[in-house]
Chain A
Amino acid sequence: MDIKKVLNEATKQIERCSSQQELQNVKVAYLGKKGKITELLKSLKDLSLEEKKSTGAKLNSLRTDIDDLLKNKFNGLKVKEINSKLTNEFLDISFPPPNSIPSKVHPISKTFDEVISIFGSMGYSVAEGPDIETDYFNFSALNIPENHPAREMQDTFYIDYTDKDNKPYVLRTHTSPVQIRTLLNEKPPVKIIAPGRTYRCDSDSTHSPMFHQVEGLFINENTNMGDLKGTLIEFCKQFFNVQNLKVRFRPSYFPFTEPSAEMDIAYEIVNNKIHLGTGDLWLEILGCGMVNPTVLENCNVDTKIYQGFAFGMGLDRITMLKYGLTDIRSFFSGNLNWIANNGFSIGDY
C-alpha cells in the first residue's frame, strides 16, 4: 500500500491551504466518513490477520500524522489571520491626550489636617462653634465689654438680625468664642483645639474678609505659662519642620487672657526666600496667654482650682509661611491653576 504516498499527498494539500475553510475540506477528504483513510481502513477486510494488524497500525499512525499536520496548519492559519487583522487595527499611539490639570486639595485642608494631628498627639480633641455668633459669645463673655477699645481692633461684620439680648448677631472675629461654648458644656480638664472660619471687614493683599484660625484651650489644675510656651514651641517645630527654632514670646494684651503674649518666629531672607527659624528678623505667629480668671468665672469654672492657657493662630498665615505663598486673596479665588500649583494630591494628603 502506498501509505507514504497518501501522507505525502496530504502534506502537500495541507500546506497549500490558505484558509481555515480549505483546511476543513482537506480534513473531510482524508479523515471524514467517506475520506481516504476510512476507505483504506475498509479495504483491510480482504487482508490476512497478520497483514491486517501491521497495515492497520500503519493506517492509524497515518491518521494521527495527518491530524497533527492539520492541527499545526490550523494554528498557523489562525495566528496569521489574527495578525493580518491586527495590521488594520493600528492606532496613532502618539496622538497627545488632552491637557488636564491635576485635581488637588486646598493647602488649607493640608494645614487643618496637620494641626489636628500635631495637637492630637499632644492630647487635644477638636471642638466647634458657629460662624454667626452672638455679641455675648464673641465679645462680652471674653471680657470685651461694649465700648471697649479692643472691639475697635477688630472690624466686625454685623448680621441684619438680632439675638435675644437685642444685639445684632456678628460674624465671629476670632475662634475664641469656642472657648466659652466648650467651657459651658464640659467640666475641666478641658483640652481642645477649634479650627474654623473667622471674619473681619478688611480687604487688601494681606487681609481677607474671611480667613481661618485655630483656637487652643487647655484648662486643668496646674496648667501654667511654661506649659503654654513649651506646647506652642513644640507645635511650631513640628509644623514648620524646624528642629532649632528661634522664637520670642513678648508681652501683649488680649482681654480674655492674662498674662498675654505674642509669639514670634525668627527668620532671615536667603536667596530671596524666607528661611524660618534663624536670623534677626521676627514674624508674628500667634497670640496667646493664660485664660483670664474673669473668663473662667463667666463659664462657671472654679478659679480656685482651675487655670490654663489659650492661644489663637491664623491658619492661612502659617500656611503661607510654610509654603512661601504671598497673597491671601488667592486662597479664596477658586483659580484652578493656583490649586493645581499649590494644592496637594492624594499621596501627599
Chain B
Amino acid sequence: MKFSYSWLCDHLETDKNATEIGDALTNLGLELESLTDYSSYSKFVVATIKDFHKHPNADRLNICTVDDGTKTYQVICGANNVKKGLKGIFAKDGMYIPGTQIYLKKGKIRGEISEGMLLSERELNLSDDHDGIIELSDNFENGTSAINALKLNDPVFEIGITPNRGDCLGVRGVARDLSAKGIGKLKPLKYEKITKLDFESPISWNIENDNNSCEYVISRYFKDVKNTVSPEWLQKKLISLGLRPINALVDITNFITHDLGRPLHVFDADKVGKKLHMRLAKPNEKILALDNKEYTLDSNSTVIADNNNALAIAGIIGGESSGCTEDTKNVFLEVAIFEKDSVAKTGRTLGINSDARYRFERGLDKNMVIEGLDYASFLINKICGGSVSKNIDSGKLDTNERKIKYKFDYFEKVIGIKLEPKKQIKILKDLKFQINQSNEKECHLLVPSWRNDIENNIDVVEEVIRIHGYENIIESIPSSSEVEIIKINNSPINKKFKVIKKLKRILISNGVSEIITFSFHSKKAHEILSGDKSLKISNAISDDQSFMRNSMIFNHLETAEMNYKKGFKNIQIFEIGPIYNTSQSQENILSLLISSQEKTNSIFKSEDFNFYSISNIVSKFISSLNFDVKQFNISRSTSNKFHPGQSAELKMGKKLIARYGKVHPLVMEEFSKLKNSYAIELFFENLPIDSMSRINSTNILDSQFQFSEKDFSFVFEKDQNLFEVQRYVNGIDKNLIKNVEFFDLYESKNLGENSKSVTFRVTIQSKDKTLDEKDLEQIHKNILEKVSYKFKANIRT
C-alpha cells in the first residue's frame, strides 16, 4: 500500500520523520518496501531549451542549447518531444540519475559534446513513462528546484500488508497501529455529520434470500448534485497513489477506500431502477464493468441489479452503464458488507484485482459502515452540493463482538520472556482492546471491531510481542540431546543422504559433473516417450515444462546438446533427484548420461564407448553400495528410452535396481548431434539402506594356500543368461570356488545360428590345504558335467 507522509499526518500527530516512521512500520509487521524521499532531487533544476538543431551524425538525436538560469549547456537529447521553449528538468555532469542508477558523465555522443541531460519521469523514478522528457506546464523560472516544480516535497511510503491486516488497508488504520507503538497520537476524523436528511430515498434495497454473501447494505440518495473536477487536495492524494482523478463522485469513493479502507460505490441514480437487489448472477449473465471489459458471470457470483440488469459485481467492480459521469445529477451511494470468501472466489474466477476486492476479501471493520456513509455524504455534499435522503438499508449488521479470556502467563510460555500483566494491559489498551474484569492471572478482552484476525489467546500474544518488539525476545539455543543424536544416526533418511553423498563423490571423482534440472519435462518428451504416463501440469508456464518427468533422460539430453553447442564433445553428467510415476509415487534415482562424440584426436584416442563400458560402470557403482551386480537378475530392458538390444535391467526380486544402455535411436532423432549416448538409471532407494551405508567389514579371511585357475569353454544357446551361469557355477562348490570370471564371448556361423561360445576362468582355493591334482580334477569334472547338464551346453575343446 502506498501513502504520503502528509496524508499520514492527516490522521497522526507525530514529531517523527519519514525514516523513523519507516522503521516503526517494519517493526510493526507493516514492512516498509520503499520510502521515496525526494530530498536529494533538489539538485535537479528547471531548464529551458533555448534552441536546438539536428545532430549531424544521428537522425534521432538533437543538439539542444539548454539554459538552467545560470549558464547555457549543450545537451544531446534523443527525446521525440524536444521543442524550442520547452521547460524540463535538467541534470548536470556528475549527478546520479536514480532511474538508471548511473552517474552522468560529460562526454561526446556521436562526436558531439553533451554537458548534461533533460530527464524523463522514469529517469526520476516518478513513473514508468519514458516516452519523452518531462514537459512542465507552469512557467517556472529556470533554476527552480525539481522538488518545487514537480511538487515532490512529500515522501511516499510503500508498505507490504500481510493478508491478516485488512485493517491497515486504509491510511487511518496504519496511523492507528503507529499510535499503538507510541509513534504519535491518532487524530479524530475531521468531518461534519449531515443531520438534515429530509426526504425518503426513491430507490430501495432488497437482499434476496438465496444469497448469504451480502449481510447488510445501507444507502443514501443525493439529489441535484453537480459532479465536477475534484478539488486539488483530493486530486493530489489520488495522484500520490498512482490513481488517475476522474470526477469528484468517483474520486471521493476512491479516496475513502484508501483513507479509511472502506470501499463504497456510487450509482448514477437516473441510470438504475427504483428497486435494487443483491442477488446471485444468472448463468452466463454479462456485465460491462468500469474497466471497460465485459465479464460473463456464473451463478456463484453476487451482483447488484435492478429489475432488469446487473449493475455491479458485488464488492469487486461497478458497471459501466450505471457509473457516475460529469453529467450525473442524482447519486445513489452504496455501503455494504459482503462475505469475504464469496468476493475472493468471484474475483479470482473473473481475474479482477480491484481495490475493493482486495479489501473485502481481507475483511472489513463493520463499525466503519456508518462512518464511511457519513464521511462520504459529507464530502459529496461539500464538493457537489445538493440534498441528502434518509438512510435506506436492508439486512442486519451483525457487529459480532469478539470476547477473549486471556491468560497473561501464556505470553511467557510462548515468547520465553516475562512481561508483567500491567505492561501487557497497557499494550492492549494502546491497541484499543477493551479490558474487562482483569486480575493478576487473566483478563477479559473485547477485540477492536477492525481486528477480524484476532480470535484467541495466541493472537493476543502476537499483538503484545508485536508492540513490545521482537528485538526484546532473548535468544537461547536448545542444544542437542543424546536421544536426538542417536535418532539422527539411526534415521533411514539421514542414512540415505549419506549414501547420496557417497554416490556424488564417486561420480565427480570419475569425471562426471552434477547438474540439477527441473522436475518437469517437455510436451515433446512426453510424446516421444510414448506409453509415458507422466502427469500433466494444468497451468504450466510453457510447453517445455508441461509434464512431471518420469525420467530425466530427455532433460539430460537437452542439457548435453546445449553443452555440445558450447563446444563440449564428451559430456558426462548426472543428477540425483525425483522422478514421478503417479501423483503419490515419487522416487529419487541417480540418472547418468554419457554422450561421447569425439574420437578425432590421433594422440589421445578415447576408447570406444559401448554397452559393455556402461555395464562396467554400473558394476562399480553397485559395488560401492556394497552389493555385487551379479547378485541381481538381469534381463533386457523393455523401456522405450533404450536401444532394445543394447540395454539391460537389474532387478532384486520385483524391484528395479538399475536400467542402463544405449539411448533409443528414436529418442536420439531429436538430438542429431549426440548419436553416441548412453544412460544409467540407478534406483538406489530400492536397495536396503543399511547395506548401502554399511561401514563394518565383511570379515572374509584370505586363504594362505595355493590357488588354481582353470578355463572352461561352453557353447550355449544364444539367449542363455550368463548371470545365471555365473551364479550357478559359483554355487557348485561354495567353499572352493572363489571366483568366476567371464572373459570371452564368441559367435559364428560354424557354431550354428542359435549358439554362442563363452569362456570363463574359475579360481579354486581351499581354506584348509593346498589342493592336489585329484581334488582339482574332481572339481573340474563337476563343473563340466553340471554346467553342460543344467544349461544343455556343449563343452568346447
Closest B residue to A196 using CB positions: B578
**Is B415 a contact of A226 with CB atoms below 8 Å?**
yes
Q: Which of A301-349 contact B (CB under 8 A)?
A: 307, 331-337, 339-340, 343, 345-346, 349
Instruction: Give Cα distance in the complex from A120 to B480, angstroms.
Output: 8
Q: Which of B499-517 contact A (CB under 8 A)?
A: 501, 504-505, 507-517
Known: A125-B487, A163-B583. A222 touches B413 (CB 8 A): yes
- B residues near A63, Cβ cutoff 8 Å: none
Q: Pick from B415, B470, B558: contact of A224, CB below 8 A.
A: B415
- B residues near A260, Cβ cutoff 8 Å: 462
User: What are 17 A-B pairs with beta-carbon distances under 8 A?
Assistant: A106-B515, A122-B480, A123-B479, A132-B583, A147-B345, A159-B535, A159-B536, A191-B484, A201-B541, A224-B414, A227-B477, A253-B165, A258-B458, A258-B461, A334-B558, A335-B566, A337-B566
Q: Pick from B475, B481, B504, B545: contact of A123, CB below 8 A.
A: B481
- A residues near B732, Cβ cutoff 8 Å: none
Tell me if B782 counts as interface (CB < 8 A to partner A): no
Q: Which of B19-69 contact A (CB under 8 A)?
A: 26-29, 31
Q: A-side binding surface: helix, strand, loop or mixed?
A: mixed
Instruction: Give Cα distance in the complex from A112 to B501, angstroms.
Output: 10
Known: A225-B465, A336-B566. A159 touches B514 (CB 8 A): no
Q: Mark B580-602, 1 if CB is under 8 A from A, else 0.
A: 10011010000000000000010
Known: A199-B519, A230-B477, A334-B562. A130 touches B584 (CB 8 A): yes
Known: A252-B31, A252-B162, A343-B514. A203 touches B414 (CB 8 A): no
Given contacts A152-B348, A346-B508, 7 further A-B contacts (CB under 8 A): A103-B513, A125-B488, A160-B536, A226-B417, A234-B477, A252-B31, A293-B458
**Is A225 a contact of B414 with CB atoms below 8 Å?**
yes
Q: Nearest-CB distance from B418 to chain A (Å)?
A: 11
- B residues near A290, Cβ cutoff 8 Å: 414, 458
Q: Which of B466-488 contact A (CB under 8 A)?
A: 466, 470-471, 473-481, 484-485, 487-488
Q: Pick from A95, A123, A132, A210: contact of B584, CB below 8 A.
A: A132
Name the 7 nearest CB pairs between A and B, nearest first: A123-B480, A251-B29, A226-B416, A253-B162, A334-B559, A123-B484, A224-B416
**Is A258 a contact of B459 with CB atoms below 8 Å?**
yes
- A residues near B508, Cβ cutoff 8 Å: 103-105, 345-346, 349
Instruction: Give Cα distance in the complex from A246 to B686, angstroms.
Output: 45
- A residues near B493, Cβ cutoff 8 Å: 125-128
Q: Mark A186-224, 1 if CB is under 8 A from B, else 0.
A: 000001000001010101000001100000001000111
Instruction: Give Cα distance in the complex from A161 to B470, angstroms.
Output: 43
**Is B514 a contact of A106 with CB atoms below 8 Å?**
yes
Instruction: Give Cα distance in the complex from A163 to B583, angstroms.
Output: 9
Q: Mark B769-795, 1 if CB is under 8 A from A, else 0.
A: 000000000000000000000000000
Q: Which of B526-577 contact A (CB under 8 A)?
A: 535-541, 545, 548, 555-556, 558-559, 562-563, 566, 568, 571-573, 577
Tell me if A286 counts as interface (CB < 8 A to partner B): no
**Is B479 a contact of A122 with CB atoms below 8 Å?**
yes
We find that the number of chain B residues with CB closer than 8 angstroms to chain A is 93
**Is B31 a contact of A250 with CB atoms below 8 Å?**
yes
Instruction: Give Cα distance in the complex from A128 to B495, angstroms.
Output: 13
- A residues near B362, Cβ cutoff 8 Å: 149
Tell me if B746 counts as interface (CB < 8 A to partner A): no
Instruction: Give Cα distance in the complex from A343 to B516, angstroms.
Output: 12
**Is B27 a contact of A250 with CB atoms below 8 Å?**
yes
- A residues near B748, Cβ cutoff 8 Å: none
**Is A253 a contact of B563 with CB atoms below 8 Å?**
no
Instruction: Give Cα distance in the complex from A223 to B484, angstroms.
Output: 15
Q: Mark B158-184, 1 if CB is under 8 A from A, else 0.
A: 000011110000000000000000000
- A residues near B163, Cβ cutoff 8 Å: 148-150, 153, 253
Instruction: Give Cα distance in the complex from A146 to B566, angstroms.
Output: 47
**Is A123 a contact of B462 with CB atoms below 8 Å?**
no
- A residues near B344, Cβ cutoff 8 Å: 147-149
Q: Nearest-CB distance from B567 to chain A (Å)?
A: 9
Q: Nearest-CB distance from B223 to chain A (Å)?
A: 39
Q: Pick from B516, B520, B540: contact of A106, CB below 8 A.
A: B516
Closest A residue to B574 using CB positions: A103
**Is A160 a contact of B535 with CB atoms below 8 Å?**
yes
- B residues near A130, Cβ cutoff 8 Å: 584, 586
- B residues near A283, Cβ cutoff 8 Å: none
Q: Which of B334-389 contact A (CB under 8 A)?
A: 340-341, 344-345, 348, 361-362
Known: A201-B541, A226-B415. A259 touches B465 (CB 8 A): yes
**Is A225 a contact of B27 with CB atoms below 8 Å?**
no
Known: A98-B601, A131-B578, A159-B536. A226 touches B586 (CB 8 A): no
B residues near A, CB below 8 A? Answer: 26-29, 31, 162-165, 340-341, 344-345, 348, 361-362, 413-417, 456, 458-459, 461-462, 465-466, 470-471, 473-481, 484-485, 487-488, 491, 493-494, 497, 501, 504-505, 507-520, 535-541, 545, 548, 555-556, 558-559, 562-563, 566, 568, 571-573, 577-578, 580, 583-584, 586, 601, 603-604
Tell me if A249 counts as interface (CB < 8 A to partner B): yes
Tell me if A74 counts as interface (CB < 8 A to partner B): no
Q: Pick from A108, A109, A209, A225: contact of B415, CB below 8 A.
A: A225
Instruction: Give Cα distance in the complex from A120 to B563, angstroms.
Output: 37
Q: Nearest-CB distance from A17 to chain B (Å)?
A: 40
Q: Pick from A158, A334, A349: contact of B504, CB below 8 A.
A: A349
**Is B537 a contact of A160 with CB atoms below 8 Å?**
yes
**Is B26 a contact of A335 with CB atoms below 8 Å?**
no
**Is A334 a contact of B568 with CB atoms below 8 Å?**
no
Closest B residue to A336 using CB positions: B563
Q: Pick from A132, A209, A231: contact of B586, CB below 8 A.
A: A132
- A residues near B520, Cβ cutoff 8 Å: 209-210
Known: A128-B493, A349-B505. A197 touches B577 (CB 8 A): yes
Q: Pick from B164, B458, B538, B541: contact of A159, CB below 8 A.
A: B538
Instruction: Give Cα distance in the complex from A177 to B8, angstroms.
Output: 40
Instruction: Give Cα distance in the complex from A259 to B476, angstroms.
Output: 17
- A residues near B578, Cβ cutoff 8 Å: 131, 197
Tell me if A36 counts as interface (CB < 8 A to partner B): no
Tell me if A261 counts as interface (CB < 8 A to partner B): yes
Q: Nearest-CB distance from A61 to chain B (Å)?
A: 45
Instruction: Give Cα distance in the complex from A103 to B537, angstroms.
Output: 33
Instruction: Give Cα distance in the complex from A169 to B535, angstroms.
Output: 10
- B residues near A123, Cβ cutoff 8 Å: 478-481, 484-485, 488
**Is B475 a contact of A233 with CB atoms below 8 Å?**
yes
Tell me if A267 counts as interface (CB < 8 A to partner B): no
Q: Mark A122-162, 1 if CB is under 8 A from B, else 0.
A: 11111110111000000000000011111011000111110
Tell me if A175 counts as interface (CB < 8 A to partner B): no
Q: Mark A262-292, 1 if CB is under 8 A from B, else 0.
A: 1000000000000000000000000000101
Instruction: Give Cα distance in the complex from A224 to B508, angstroms.
Output: 43
**Is A226 a contact of B473 with CB atoms below 8 Å?**
yes
Known: A98-B604, A125-B494, A253-B164. A132 touches B535 (CB 8 A): yes
Instruction: Give Cα distance in the complex from A215 to B671, angstroms.
Output: 39
**Is B604 a contact of A97 with CB atoms below 8 Å?**
yes
Instruction: Give Cα distance in the complex from A346 to B163, angstroms.
Output: 46
Instruction: Give Cα distance in the complex from A149 to B361, angstroms.
Output: 7
Q: Pick from A128, A153, A209, A230: contact of B476, CB below 8 A.
A: A230
- B residues near A331, Cβ cutoff 8 Å: 516
Q: Which of A68-122 contact B (CB under 8 A)?
A: 95, 97-98, 100-101, 103-106, 108-109, 112-113, 116, 120-122
